[in-house]
Structure 1
Amino acid sequence: MSIALKPVHQRLHLYTEGNDTYLFTPEGNDAQALTIHRASGDITLNRLKVPLPPYALRSSKVIYGIIGLISLSLSEYIIVITGRESLGRLMGHEVYRATNFDILPLNPHVSSHNPPHPVESHLLALVRSHLHGGNFLFSYTWDLTRRLQAQWQSREKDVGKPLWQVADDRFFWNKFLQSRLIDLTTSDAKQDLSQYILPVMYGTFDLRPAFLHGRHMQLCLISRRSRFRAGTRYFRRGIDHDGHVANFNETEQLVLIEGQTTPGAPRPEDDSFATKLSFVQIRGSVPLFWSEINTLRYKPDLQIMDLQDTTNAMQKHLTEQVELYGEQALVNLVNQKGHEQPVKEAYERYVAQINVPKTRYEYFDFHNECRKMRWDRISVLIDRMQEDIDRHGYFQLNADNPTPVKMQKGVIRTNCMDNLDRTNVVQAALAKWTLNVQLRELGILSETAGIDDYEAFSKDFREMWADHADAIAKAYGGSGALKSDFTRTNLRTRKGLLEDGVKSVTRYLKNTFFDGARQDGFDLMTGTWRPRKSPSSALFLITDGRPLITRSMPVIASFSLFMICAGLTLPRTSDYSLFYYFMLWFTLMSIALIFMLIHGIDYVAWPRLIPPTDVIYYNGPGFRSARNGMGLNPKVAGELGKQHNLWLGSGRVRTATEEVEMGTIKKRVD
């Protein structure tokens, strides 16, 4: 199935004419060049065969696509792809990952490498960090953002359309950055910039050849991350008022099987597979208004906000999923005891209350069922879900039949607390179960055989799912997935437990001390926060508004530790004097550490563009496990936080346009 879409330019040459223009010229004689005027910001599509300006200088770098334009405090910038890596050829279409980027300022007086103001430097650093920290995928001729079944269903009306017009809005990651080009294209029929608008997807792509019982095939795994409510683990939880949930990912497992050929016969051309199979699953945060408040402690404070809009938001979310995918089997893996119990109970209460048609809730106590490394017990969940899996089915398209043999009529929506580790294990198990069914129904496997009976094939499958799990976990949680040893080897090992311990510590450090800047990058690049054209209005981004005593405590603790270590090298002339020496520095270090623990919230690297102050100091109906890290009197701290926004928002009282609603974030200008 190949849809003839309007192609996107694959290689561009960049010319600059002094400080006046950027000129992007595609390879080929019959293509129109694109001119962007730096002074005015105007974008024009040149007429055919217009000669280059006589003084234009050509850049040494090849441009592989325009990601879009972003406006910061001093200038607008063009973000372009200058490096790409081919990940494979899917049904005749090359799929790439962006590896290098350039940021081109429109303002001729601003350098992207050495901007004249520290606020602009900070914002550019956020852009670069986001670009180099993400996994951005694209294809010039194939819509990566939509699953195979969705493409088949709209194949007739999509013919001749540009890629950006058919892309799934949820997974069109650079939609905000491309808005200038899209608006110009839709408003002016003479300025069709579609061949310059390259949809980029944030996700994973893995394509591997396989051979089983004389049949050549390809295994492909694609995950698509939603740009709505995007962010990091502790700073994007739950749902917003539009029904978008955090860490929403669509995962599609493709199996492309070639027809039977005689020995020595030539291999078929691309996209001539005899059978194409697609199986889709989704994951997303528990659709409630909830969060975990980081306080420097390993386990954060759990908070559930019972807002009036909770029922409406959850209904929006589930209704949208039913409209997009069909029936929904909601698999919840959150623990039924301890820290996670309130989330499970609130989820079940609201699901029962709204009772959305074509949805069914299924609870599985993952940690209890699989305790003592009994990971084979996941089969219990699959047995419970078998009726749903059979009814939902999968998508199957045969080359000799113009209509699909099967359509997928529903999906399983899996979640745990983070939608990472437990979710990965369960989704991989469901995918393997479905793959076994598919290969048996095609006669490639016998009724009693499974892919685990064929080590080479099984190893590729396991590694694909483990790599996919690691990528999603790094994007959201900051480290590779836990429990991935089971996904890779079908065994839970003590070595895997040790590795999980290291990953857990890595997550804690990143989530506590680094994810604030990462969250700012998400908010900036997706258009959730937009800067004013005045760097002085955003000085709070580069200043520390905390009281002096708060800022001094880490310095005191560090210096005290240094003096203790230095004291170990002193000559032992008098144990009596050394006792007082060590007592002094141990006392100072202890006081500093205790102060930091009591005021832990002040030491977390919170997002600065949209600080979640109203969530941290929420005092409305709901549940809060504790008020750790908020000082000696958390009730007073809560009131002050609501009134003055504390230091998280630069010490200013927010204006109406800057308000952050519970569980959702309005687009705002600062």
Structure 2
Amino acid sequence: MKLLHQRLNLYTDGNETYTFVPAEPVGTRSLTIYRNSGDIVLNPPNTPLPASSERSGKTIYGILGMVTLMMSEYIIIITGRELRGRFMSNNVYRATDYDILPLNPDVSVQNPPNTAEAHLLALVRSHLYGGQFLFSYGWDLTRRLQAQWETLQEDAGKALWDVADDRFFWNKFLQSRLIDVTHANSDQNLSAYILPVIYGTFDIRPTRVNGHYLRLCLISRRSRYRAGTRYFRRGIDREGHVANFVETEQVLLVDTAGADSNGDEASIQLSFVQIRGSIPLFWAEINTLRYKPDLQIMELQDTLDAARKHLEEQVSLYGEASLVSLVNHKGYEKPVKEAYEHRMAELLDLPKVRYQYFDFHSECKHMRWDRISVLIDKMEEDLNKQGYFHLDSRNQKPIVLQQGTIRTNCMDNLDRTNVAQAAFAKWTLGKQLRELGILNENEAVDNYEELIKDFREMWSDHANEISVAYSGTGALKTDFTRTGQRTKMGLLEDGYKSVMRYLKNNFFDGARQVRPMYKVVDAPIHIATFI
């Protein structure tokens, strides 16, 4: 895999150019962007800088891409990063700080020429600093382990952006100018400057179980399609993309040599993937300032085709699809449940798709959250059949391939979905450890205090971050995920979060939805977007 430049120095030549020079190795081809024309040029090796160039005092950790607003095109660069962990011999970073560079010499980012441009720049900054943007210079964070193994040979020698999963390459639209230059001219290959970024979560923690050194990792990837906030993005579009689609991968790394290093690849790698996504129908919730918005289900001719496209894509990517629906069977959510089941009855010709309903609130009422075990029992056959990815460096081929995945949804695909996914992940982790011989047949993950503590914290943090991205607040019900018990304090915290969701979703998400990260169709002003 071709590596990316990890550190760049920025030189500005007045109103003429921005030039990015790799910090190392010396003599690497620099990149110049001309401010008046917008031309992007990869310079010959050892090209001297103009004598009038001034060097920025900041180190640049990557070019996020370019965005066009009303008055100018802008380059967004990463000027701060936080190490989140080391995975597969590569560092994983979260972007923490950015600079926005205008190409138009008459535009100042600090003092925009008008209020409209100032507002758009504020929205860009809000998105940048409000999101969880993760990247690695040498590992493809956009793809799960099994997908990377399946294309290992054909990916050799390619750039990270060229093999990235299009769904999770969050800044692909911003990078389109650099990608276009690379495609147009073989001598202008900008791949070393094209940094793929995911919007999601990453956590990795070392632990020991019965003398075995393990690392437990959790990665989530948010789709750039049908992106948006909670009430402004529901359901499906005609291309089969659904709102709040997230792929979550739990990775277990086992070092059979017993090394204590966090940096090297483990000899045994196991991966378990789940997905979540909005109910694949045309439906919406219309804000009316009441606590419950108006629910609308559109019975369109395209509904069946869109749902079919969505499910066929999931089967082609993951294998068998087990659809777990957690919406309520009565009250406000009942029409969505019935419409979903009606459409599923019309799609019985999809042989690798199975629907499973679980009445979460009825089964787990009176704080009986241990009743999530009922859902595990219902899905145990599917979990065993679909399996997980298991690669051992002592074998040329994987011992096991994951043959399908569970797609879970509730109304928001947040709180109930998080609880269910954590339960599936915990069940699978126990199965993996027993099959590796690390746990005995009668042992469970709960028997190991350090391991279960890390597991619960990782899944709770993951739930909160996914929820903040979609709803503006942390997830509900995380007291159960974090402690294994539903508590009265957790109920109080959920009440507070619910009030904050109401305020944010009704009064602030309109601005969040029209930020320049999202495509605005038929807008009076063309705004370049992230997707």
TM-score by structure 1 length?
0.77
2:79 to 82, 98, 102: 82
- Residues 439-463 of structure 1, C-alpha deviations (whole Å, 9 max, x = no match): 0001100111111011111101000
Deviation at 1:31, TM superposition (A): 1.0
Aligned pairs for 1:357-376 (under 5 A) are 357-376=351-370
1:138 aligns with 2:132: no
Structure 2 vs 1, CA of residues 269 and 309 (structure 1 numbering), >3 Å: closer, same or farther?
closer
Partner of residue 200 from structure 1, selected from 175, 180, 197: 197
| Number of the residue aligned with 2:8 | 12
| 1:171 paired to 2:168 | yes
User: What's the offset of the Cα at 1:410?
Assistant: 0.1
Q: Provide the rounded CA distance (Å) in 1 between the counterparts of 2:351 and 2:133.
A: 36
Retained in 2: the 8 A contact 1:177–1:525?
Answer: no
2:514 touches 2:520 (CA, 8 Å); kept in 1? no
Residue in 2 that maps onto 1:230:
227
Residues 187-220 of structure 1, C-alpha deviation per residue, up to 9 Å, x if partnerless? 1111000000000000000011111000011000
Does the alignment pair 1:500 with 2:494? yes
Deviation, 1:224, is 0.2
Q: 1:529 to 1:53 in 2, by over 3 A?
A: farther
Paired residue for 2:88, among 85, 88, 91?
A: 91
Preserved contact between residue 176 and residue 526 of structure 1 (Cα < 8 Å):
no
Mapped pair 1:23 → 2:19? yes
Partners in 1 of 2:382 and 2:260 — Cα distance?
38
**2:87–2:265: 8 Å Cα contact kept in structure 1?**
no
Match of 1:17, as an amino acid?
A: D
Counterpart-to-counterpart distance in 2, 1:425 and 1:235: 24
Cα distance in 2 for residues equivalent to 1:290 and 1:308: 13
Q: Which amino acid aligns with 1:314?
A: A
Match for 2:421 among 419, 427, 431?
427
Greater fraction strand: 2
> Which of 321, 328, 350 is equivalent to 1:335?
328
Hey, what does 1:278 align to over in structure 2?
Answer: 271
Residue 434 of structure 1 aligns to which amino acid in structure 2? T
Q: Is the 8 A contact 2:86 2:262 kept in 1?
A: no
d(CA) in 2 for partners of 1:519, 1:21: 33
Unmatched tracts of structure 1, length 5 or more: 532-536, 539-608, 611-666
The aligned counterpart of 2:517 is 525
Amino acid at match of 2:315: V
Does 2:480 align with 1:486? Answer: yes
> Which AA in structure 1 matches 2:244?
N
Aligned partner letter, 2:280: P
Q: Which structure 2 residues correspond to residues 349-388 of structure 1 after superposition, within 5 A?
A: 349-355=342-348, 356-388=350-382
Aligned ranges 1:45-194 → 2 under 5 Å = 45-194=42-191
CA distance in 2, matches of 1:270, 1:479: 34
- How many angstroms apart in 2 are the aligned matches of 1:68 and 1:345? 43
Alignment equivalent of 1:319, drawn from 309, 312, 321: 312
Aligned residues of 2:282 and 2:298 also touching (Cα < 8 A): yes
Contact (CA 8 Å) 2:321, 2:407: kept in 1 or not? Answer: yes
Q: Offset at 1:272? A: 3.9
Q: Deviations over 1:402-460 (max 9, x none)?
A: 10000000000000000000000000000000000000001100111111011111101
Rounded to whole Å, the distance in 2 between the matches of 1:507 and 1:33 is 46
1:399 positional shift: 1.4
3-state SS in 2 of match to 1:372: coil
Contact 2:8/2:59 (<8 A) preserved: yes
**Cα deviation digits, residues 319-344 of structure 1 (max 9, x gap):** 00000000000000000000000000
- Work out which of the residue numbers 301, 304, 314 in structure 2 matches 1:308: 301
Counterpart of 1:415? 409
AA of the residue aligned to 2:125: R
CA–CA distance in 2 between the matches of 1:105 and 1:527? 21
Kept in 2, the 8 Å contact 1:68–1:79? The answer is yes
Task: Give the secondary structure class of the aligned counterpart of 2:514.
Answer: helix
Aligned partner letter, 1:331: V
Judging changes above 3 Å, is the alpha-carbon distance between structure 1 residues 72 and 529 closer, same or farther for their aligned structure 2 residues?
farther
CA 1:94–1:529: 2 relative to 1, 3 Å: farther
Say if 2:400 is the partner of 1:406: yes
Give the Cα separation in 2 of the matches to 1:402 and 1:268: 24
Selected match of 1:299 from 279, 292, 316: 292
State which drifts further: 303-312 or 28-37: 28-37
SS at 1:525 equivalent: coil
Matched, 1:287 2:284: no
Could you say what secondary structure the match of 1:210 adopts?
strand
The alignment partner of 1:330 has SS state of strand
Q: Distance in 2 between matches of 1:527 and 1:379?
A: 41
* 1:459 pairs with 2:450: no
Larger Cα-atom Rg: 1
**Aligned-residue RMSD, C-alpha:** 1.4
- Look up the SS of the partner of 1:161 in the other structure: coil
Question: Which residue, 477, 487, 507 being the options, matches 1:513?
Answer: 507
Matched, 1:253 2:250: yes
Q: 1:272 to 1:206 in 2, by over 3 A?
A: closer
372, 383, 390: which one pairs with 2:384? 390
Q: 1:473 to 1:205 in 2, by over 3 A?
A: same
Partner of 1:469: 463
Whole-Å Cα distance in 2 between the matches of residues 527 and 339 of structure 1?
Answer: 30
Q: Distance in 2 between matches of 1:230 and 1:91?
A: 29
- Aligned pair in 2 of structure 1 residues 118, 472: CA closer, same or farther (>3 Å)? same
Q: Offset at 1:527?
A: 4.0
Counterpart amino acid of residue 220 in structure 2: S
Deviation of 1:51 after TM superposition, in Å, equals 1.3
Shift of 1:260: 4.2
Q: Which residue of 2 aligns with 1:570?
A: none
Kept after mapping to 2: 8 A contact 1:82/1:102: yes
CA separation in 1, counterparts of 2:130 and 2:339? Answer: 34
Aligned equivalents of 1:272, 1:73: Cα separation in 2: 47
Does the Cα contact within 8 Å between 1:174 and 1:526 map onto a contact in 2? Answer: no
Question: Any idea what SS the aligned residue of 1:191 has?
Answer: coil
1:30, distance to aligned residue in structure 2 (A): 3.2
